[in-house]
Every structure is written in C-alpha cells, then in structure tokens.
Structure 1
Amino acid sequence: MGTRQPLDLFAITSMVIFCIVMASQQVMLKAVAEDIVPVFQIALRSGIAAALIIVLILIQRHRMPLAPENRIPALLIGVLFTLEFLFLGEALNETSAGHATVFLYTSPIFAAIGLHMKIPSERMSRLQWLGILLAFGGIVLAFLGGDSTDALSSAVLWGDFLALLAGAAWGLTTVVVRATGLSALPARQTLLYQLLVAFVLLTLWSYITDQAEVNLTPEVWGSLAFHGIIVSFISYLGWFWLLTKYKASQLGILSFMTPVFGVLLGNWLLGERIEANFIFGSGLIIGGILLVSSHGWLRKRRERAGKPA
C-alpha cells in the first residue's frame, strides 16, 4: 500500500463538495417530508445505492468472500447502520435539519470511547478526554435552549436526542469495523452490507408504522435521485477513494465542515432559526471533536518538529 500524500487543492476542493453534499442530505429529507417521510426515503435510497454498488461489482468482476467469523459483524454493522438512519429519519420529524446534522456528527466521540475500550492501541490521551468533556458540555448547552413553555420544545428536544442516538450508532459502527475482520475488507463490500440490511429493515419499519405512503412529486423524484445516486453511491465511494490517496487524519479534520454547512443550509433553504445557545453549543461540540480526532495528526507534527534538521 502506497504512502498517503498530504492534502492538495484537489483534495480540499473535493472535501468541500463532499461536506456540502453530506450536509444537504438532511435538508433535502426535511424539505420533502410532507410527500415522503424521511425514514422511508432513506430506505429507498439505500436500495438504490445497493443496486448500483452490485452493478459496479459485477462490471468489475470483484469477488466478495466473507469468512464465517465475519458474518455476525457484517450483520451487526447493517443493524447499526439501520438504527443510525432510523433515529435520524425520526429525528427529522421533530427537529431541524441543522440540529440533526450537528448531533449526527458527534459520532467520532462515541467511536473514540468505544475504540478506547476495545483496542489497546486506540487508548485516548488526556487531550482527547478533554475534547470529549468539551463536546459533551456543548451537547448539554445545545439541549438547554428554547422556551420551555413552547408546545414544540419537548418535540424538538426529543428529535435532538434521536439525532444524538444516530451519532452514537454511527460511532459504534466504526468500532465494530475496526475491532473485527471487517477492517480488512474493501470499503464497498462493508458499505453494501450496511445498505442491504438498511433497505430491508427500514422498508419493513415504514410499512409496519404506516409511513410508506409516497406522493411522487418532481421534488420527491429529485430527492430520491440525489440521495440514492449522489449521496449513498457517488459520495461514499468518492470518500473511500480519497482515503486511499490522502492522509485520513487530515481528511477527517476537514469533514467537520459538514455540521457547519448543515446549520447554514437549514437556515438558508428551510428558514430554520439558529438559537444563540445552539451556536455556542455546536462550537464546543465541533471543537471537542477536533481535539479527539486530530490527536494523531498533532502528535506526528510534534514528533517531526522535535527531530533535528
């Protein structure tokens, strides 16, 4: 495997586009929610993306062996992926797209805690623990806003909590992949397992809870195409391709533009109000996540700086 190169203009531009796309998905789900509920739309987009990945695998004639010891982990990441988007879809029924995006992107915090417990080499430093305390302080601050007498405040609070659970499920997915033999599989293979399980389970959930009705407007068709092709297929595969070419730590730091874009797009396109407490809380959350995620990169910089010229 070749050495990953530092970020260049192409990588930075690609990451800006990737983050805008990732931030837009919550806004798009929310925008057409009256014609198709978010959970069912996520189910359909998972099916579309899974079909496209299967076609790609068949065209490229890639084999996809799965060792017996990896079967349960493969099913588990599918269930966790399903829970992530079930929580996110239900959250968008109650809270804003901006709130949902910020709380969803707390996932590195949960991943760091899980990896600290499961993998000795992933033990966190004091700086990373400080980042976790900072992020959770931001979560508390972000939850404390709004008028408690407002009839919608309890619903918004519940939606925020569901989005936080979605972030936790995403983080646990990372832990399962890293702590099992799935980490040695091609990214498209693990992505396919997640998409297939999510398609089946979220479709069942939608029908069981009477959320499978669709009003096929042009906006809904456009949203399904955007989510199924752009988000769940092209963007995910593009992200994995970038990881093969550039340093993951630097890409990971840039990915935290996503919650910022999510809040701004929700305000611009949906007219969502941005509360002062949420701005400060989000700042603490993102700052804490950066401390946790950039630890390896900062350590390597210090090591290089300490070496004699």
Structure 2
Amino acid sequence: MHKNELDRLAIGLMVLFCTIWGLQQVAIKLASAGISPVWQAGLRSIGATVIVLLWSWLRGVRLFERDGTLLPGLLAGLLFAIEFALIFLGLEHTTASRGVIFLYTAPFFVALGAVWLLPQEPMRRSQWAGMALAFAGILVLFGEHLFTSADGAWIGDLMIVLAAMFWAATTLTVKVTCLARSSVEKTLLYQLGVSAVVLPVLSVALGEPGVFAATKVVWASLLFQTAIVAGVSYLGWFWLVRHYPATRLSTFSFLTPVMGVLAGGFILDEALSRTVFVALALVGTGIGVANWPARRR
C-alpha cells in the first residue's frame, strides 16, 4: 500500500538508515587497519550479494528471467564497483568526516546529468539554489587542504568527489534504462554481483596484500558494512521507496553527512575544524533545499 505522507515508522527508519550510512565511512577506516581497501570493498560486495540472494529466494523474487536488463545491469554494476573502489581508496588519504561530506554531493551531479538525460523531470529554481549551496560546500572543504604542504588529503577528497560522480552515474543509469522497471532486488543484485567480481580482480591487479591484520575490530567493521549497510539498510531503503513518496524521503539525506561527521569526531577522534562545519552546513542545507517538496498551488 502506497502512502502520500511520511508516518512515524518511515521517519524513524530514515533517521536510523542515515545514521547507519554516516557510520559506514568510520567502519571502512576501522577495517582498513587490517584489510586492503579494494579487497575490503570486494569482500563487502560478496557478502552482501549472498544476503540479497537469500532475501530474494525467501520472498520468491524472480531474478534470472530474461527482461532486457542484462546490459544496463552490467553497466550499473561496473559503475558501482568503480564508485566503491574510489571510496575505499580515497579514505586511505582523507578523514571519514570529510569523506562523507564529499560523497553526499552526489545529488548535485544527478541533477546536472538529469538536465540532459531526464528532460521530463525539470529542475525548479529552489533545486538549482540548493545545488549551488552544496557546490559551495565542496569548494570550501576542498580548499582547506589543497594548498597545504606535505598533506595528501586533497587526493582522497578528489577520489571521493569522483566516487560521488560515479554514484550519480549509477543512479541515472537505473533511471533512464529498463532497470527502472525491474525489481529493486534485481537492480541491487546487478550492482553487488558485478562489483563482487570486479573488485577482487582489481585488488589483485593493484598488488594489495588483502587481509594482513585480522583483529576483532576489523572483522566487526567488515560485518557491519556487509550485513547492516549493504544488506539490511539498502533493502530497507528500497522498501521505503516503494511505500512512501521518494521526494519526501530524499529530504532526509542531509542527515547522513551530519551523522558521518559526528561519528568521525567521536569514534575516530578526527579533528573537526570550523571549515568542516561550514562545509557541512552548506552541503546539508543545499541538499535539503534542493529536495524540498514544491509548494502546491
């Protein structure tokens, strides 16, 4: 049953999911102490693929029937794999707090791509204003480390901005192809399944050592990413999209950078400069303004 308004269940789940997604960058940093970044991303995709397959089997979702989604599905999976390779590699150079802010500029790039690919979804003035604020936040945060000597944080920042672009490309691929008519489980499985193959191969090609310090914290962080983030929260998000207005749900997305910055500060003891909070305010406000429902006449 589809609802036109968000109830307490939807609001509570969105706050929970935004917290989980904000913690994801922290979990990646913790697991990187014992697992190479791209190999870690591959293990995450492999585990999440198993979870989605099991979920689909229990619910009787048909995944392997011919429906014309193979080629766009493979493309979406490849874009997804590149996105997460860049995220995991980028977090080797920058902090989780900065990374989560840069990553959640993806709606800005979706909006830019939609101008050409989705002409049936025209942008309102408020959306352009919101995107301008978000872009200002990128410039403020990126400039903090760009000209600092002996500081390679800008490399990680740039990687995660590129990851946001690939995330946007994945979203647009799903929206403009027949994947938009496919089940959410099948669409998610394309992304997880392809990345489960591509990422381990890329890790070997990069000469990564793989698992080099298997501690309880490392394995717990990987388990959190696999089961909670890529498994439970993604499936829960798709369930919400099916039952509630997507535009109203998207207004909560600005909570994720907030949760990520706070988690990076409290859990990883990362320095939270004034610039981080200024950028966070700009990006969060911008995404919130861009996703605010249009006023009814």
- Output the TM-score relative to the length of structure 2: 0.94
**1:144 partner SS:** helix
Deviates more, 1:47-56 or 1:183-192: 47-56
- Which residue number corresponds to residue 143 of structure 1? 142
Structure 2: how far apart are the matches of 1:149 and 1:163? Answer: 19
Q: Is the 8 A contact 2:130 2:286 kept in 1?
A: yes
Q: Distance in 1 between matches of 2:221 and 2:287?
A: 30
Say if 1:60 and 1:131 are closer, same or farther in 2 by CA, change over 3 A: closer
Aligned to 1:172: 169
| 1:86 aligned partner | 85
**In 2: Cα distance, 1:188 partner to 1:59 partner:** 12
- Alignment correspondent of 1:6: 5
Shift in Å, 1:8: 1.9
Q: Aligned runs of 1:279-294 on 2, under 5 Å?
A: 279-294=277-292
88 and 57 in structure 1: CA distance in 2 versus 1, 3 angstrom threshold? same
Query: 1:108–1:293: 8 Å Cα contact kept in structure 2?
Result: no
C-alpha distance in 1 between matches for 2:62 and 2:31: 38
Q: Which residue of 1 aligns with 2:128?
A: 129
For 1:171 and 1:147, how far apart are their aligned partners in 2?
24
Alignment partners' CA distance in 2, 1:58 and 1:11: 25
Distance 1:66 1:283, change over 3 A: farther
Whole-angstrom CA distance in 2 between matches of 1:13 and 1:202: 34
The answer as to whether partners of 2:78 and 2:195 remain within 8 angstroms in 1 is: yes
Secondary structure of 1:195's aligned partner: helix
Give yes or no for contact 2:145–2:153 (8 Å, CA) kept in 1: no
Matched-pair identity in %? 37
Q: How many residues align?
A: 295
- Computing the radius of gyration from Cα coordinates, the structure with the larger value is 1
Instruction: Output one character per residue of 1:133-188: Cα deviation in whole Å (capped at 9) or x when no partner.
Output: 22212211111114844412xx1011011111111111111111111110011111
Q: Counterpart of 1:48?
A: 47
Q: Contact 1:111–1:175 at 8 Å: present in 2 too?
A: yes
In structure 2, the partner of 1:184 is 181
Corresponding residue of 1:24: 23
SS where residue 120 of structure 2 aligns?
helix
Alpha-carbon distance in 2 for matches of 1:47, 1:32: 16
> 1:234 offset after TM fit, Å?
0.7
Structure 1 residue runs without a partner (length 5+): none
**CA RMSD between the two structures:** 1.6
- Inter-CA distance 217–245: structure 2 relative to 1 (3 Å threshold): same
Alpha-carbon spacing, 1:213–1:168, altered in 2? closer, same or farther (3 Å): same
Q: Which amino acid aligns with 1:36?
A: I
Q: Is the 8 A contact 1:117 1:123 kept in 2?
A: no
Unmatched segments (≥5 aa) in structure 2: none
Partner amino acid, structure 2, of 1:208: A
Q: How far off its partner does 1:80 sit? A: 0.8
Residues 112 and 292, structure 1, Cα contact 8 Å, conserved in 2: no
